[in-house]
Amino acid sequence: MIAGAAMLMASNAIRMERAAVERRHMLDTATSGLDREIFYQSEKAREYVISGNPEYLEDFNAGVVNLNDTRAMLGRVNDAGARQEELSTLMTAVDMAKTLVNDQQRAIEAYQAGDIETARQMLFSDHYEGELSLIDSTIMRFQALLDQRTQVDVEQAIIRSRFWRVMSEVVLAATALMFLCVLYFILKRRILRPVVKLSDVVTRLAAEDFSVEISEFRHMDEIGDMAEAVKVFRENGLERLRLEEKLEQDLKLRNLLSRMTHRMQACESKKEVANVVRLFLPAILPGFPGRMYLFDENNSVMRQVCDWREPLGSAMTFDPAECWAIRRGAPHRQGGEQTDMPCQHMFKPDAPEEQQANEIATLCVPLTAQREVIGLLYCEMPEGVISIEDEHYVFMMAENIALSLANMHLREELHDQAMEDSLTGLSNRRKMEQRLGTLLSDARETTQPISCIMLDVDNFKSFNDTFGHEMGDRVLMEVASVLKSHTREDGLSFRYGGEEFVLLLPGVEPGEAVRRAEIIRKEISALHFMFNGTPIDKITASFGVATTPNHCPGNKLIMTADEALYESKENGRNRVTKAMLSQGEDMVA
């Protein structure tokens, strides 16, 4: 009885350890999605103040309702056994999230009131990023508290388990010795052999060798009871080992997935994202070959950007309509134990369709960003099935890949907006400074000249005062169109500021630059505008032309062209003036 009690206590300690792990899992389940919901809200608010798309506002408002309903989540956390400190930390994160939502709503109200700059500043400021980071760190602290408590509970359970295992070993050894001494003379053949077997089993179990097999004992006596207790102890040990292995494997996969996500967020091109996927995905899902596709907007096809583990099926490129997952906007499984329509991109061009359907069990997961399919994650299942856990990891990776690509696209759009004048479509002054730096660097190697034409629309302020800013904007857009038609490549005409424009002409000598400026001046003078049915007097512009190294060093090219423009203004406007090297340089009218 003492031995059985010791073993039952050891079994109870293992159950306590398992309960700690299960409680941790329940708390994870109860609070899952909170951090994603918070950052999802932030993304939708930002996308709305950037694009003004009302769909983002609807998504934001729907998310606000979900985020505000925290009573159910807190109830689940409390039912799962969370402590007061953990509940307090989680509640702090929820309160900060609600505060952040209030900031987002104020930014949206500012945007809707027309104060776009303030709205964007509120959602893209360092303070706002700091609040997001603080919420993230609070949630991580909540997770850390759970991990700490789970670790303490598990360690205590392990200590109890080891203690009672040692006690059971001692008691069982003593019991076995006593039975051997007493029953050796009484029931030698009936008792000795079972006791020897049980002693060997107990010894191996004490060394945590749970692979030992326990023979069936049909005796309805103490030997049978002891064998049953040892069997229970072994089963609990096997279950504990299984849980430990599963927990370790799950932690390893989560660390890999987290590392993969961080690397993708730091990528600056789709090629880098493809390289990250090619490296990490085989480590996360070693038994599943596959490919990743991205949508080629120029050719309207899905194009492979990487593969892993030598997949057998699927074409390198295919029409999006050939994949059922892309058609439905949802994961699509076929083959193996799943009976469903095979995707057309699985078929080999030279084989009949009936010979190819369901030959390979596959899982296609669309990569979706902003409700648009931007790619596809294709996985093959050699064994015909995929576990729920592995399928969950596939979905998580597809979501993270799509999010990384969407963030990259958003960064590119923001960069383009920062470098472009929204009214004229020309590059702005910041872009001009970058492009001029590149041209000057190239010119130092090729020794080719770089000419600069700077022009200013004459009397533009009085024109705006007379005819209004809308008419003034039309004039600036028409002038920009003229400039675009006189550059050999995109990105060489710029709006310098206000009514001033700049053209950079690499490889153009001063005389040719003056000739082009004169042509542009005449085309601008030929522009015609009507205001309330009445023709407007012709629009003119003054020009200044400078060339490096002919007139000035490269770092003074814009300033020299500006001085020549000023001279055109002083000499009566509507003319082209070339920067001078000496008193003998002339003005071209």
Q: Tens of pLDDT along 446-476?
A: 888 999 999 999 999 988 888 888 989 999 9
Mean pLDDT, residues 508-519: 93
389 is catalytic: no
Instruction: Check pLDDT > 60 for residue 358.
Output: no
* Per-residue pLDDT at 536: 83
The counts of H helices and E strands in the chain are 17, 14
Instruction: Check pLDDT > 70 for residue 401.
Output: yes
Mean pLDDT, residues 163-172: 77
What average pLDDT does the chain have? Answer: 80
Higher pLDDT, 46 or 72: 46
Torsion of CA 51, 52, 55, 58, to 10 degrees: 130
3-state secondary structure of 33: coil
Chain-centre distance of CA 356, in angstroms? 36
Instruction: Check pLDDT > 50 for residue 181.
Output: yes
Which of 433, 499, 512, 567 is the catalytic position? 499
Higher pLDDT, 315 or 215: 315
3-state secondary structure of 342: coil
pLDDT tier at 76, thresholds 50, 70, 90: low
3-state secondary structure of 551: coil
Mean pLDDT, residues 22-31: 61
Peptide bond into 549 cis (omega under 30): yes
Query: Residue 88 carries which side chain, given as an amino acid letter?
Result: S
Determine which of 193-197, 409-413, 427-431 has the lowest per-residue pLDDT on average. 193-197
**Cα–Cα distance between 365 and 376 in angstroms, integer?**
6
pLDDT digits (tens, 9 = 90+) for 535-558: 887 889 999 999 999 999 999 999
The bridge status of strand 500-506 relative to strand 332-334 is: unpaired
* Per-residue pLDDT at 211: 67
* Per-residue pLDDT at 588: 39
Chain-centre distance of CA 502, in angstroms? 39
* Per-residue pLDDT at 582: 40
* Per-residue pLDDT at 390: 84
Instruction: Check pLDDT > 60 for residue 3.
Output: no
pLDDT tier at 355, thresholds 50, 70, 90: very low
* Per-residue pLDDT at 504: 92
pLDDT digits (tens, 9 = 90+) for 281-304: 888 888 889 999 999 888 889 999
pLDDT tier at 266, thresholds 50, 70, 90: confident
Higher pLDDT, 172 or 437: 437
C-beta of residue 541 within 8 angstroms of C-beta of residue 572: no
* Per-residue pLDDT at 26: 62
**Cα–Cα distance between 413 and 144 in angstroms, integer?**
37
Domains and CATH numbers, the chain: 2-257 (no CATH), 283-415 (3.30.450.40), 429-588 (3.30.70.270)
Determine which of 204-213, 383-392, 466-475 has the lowest per-residue pLDDT on average. 204-213
Q: H or E element: which one contains 350?
A: none
**Cα–Cα distance between 101 and 120 in angstroms, integer?**
15
**Cα–Cα distance between 437 and 532 in angstroms, integer?**
45
Share of the chain above pLDDT 70, in %: 78
* Per-residue pLDDT at 583: 38
Highest mean pLDDT among 96-105, 174-183, 324-333, 479-488 belongs to 324-333
The candidate with the shortest Cα–Cα distance to 60, out of 28, 93, 103, is 103
**Cα–Cα distance between 478 and 113 in angstroms, integer?**
31
Instruction: Check pLDDT > 70 for residue 379.
Output: yes
pLDDT tier at 522, thresholds 50, 70, 90: very high
* Per-residue pLDDT at 587: 39
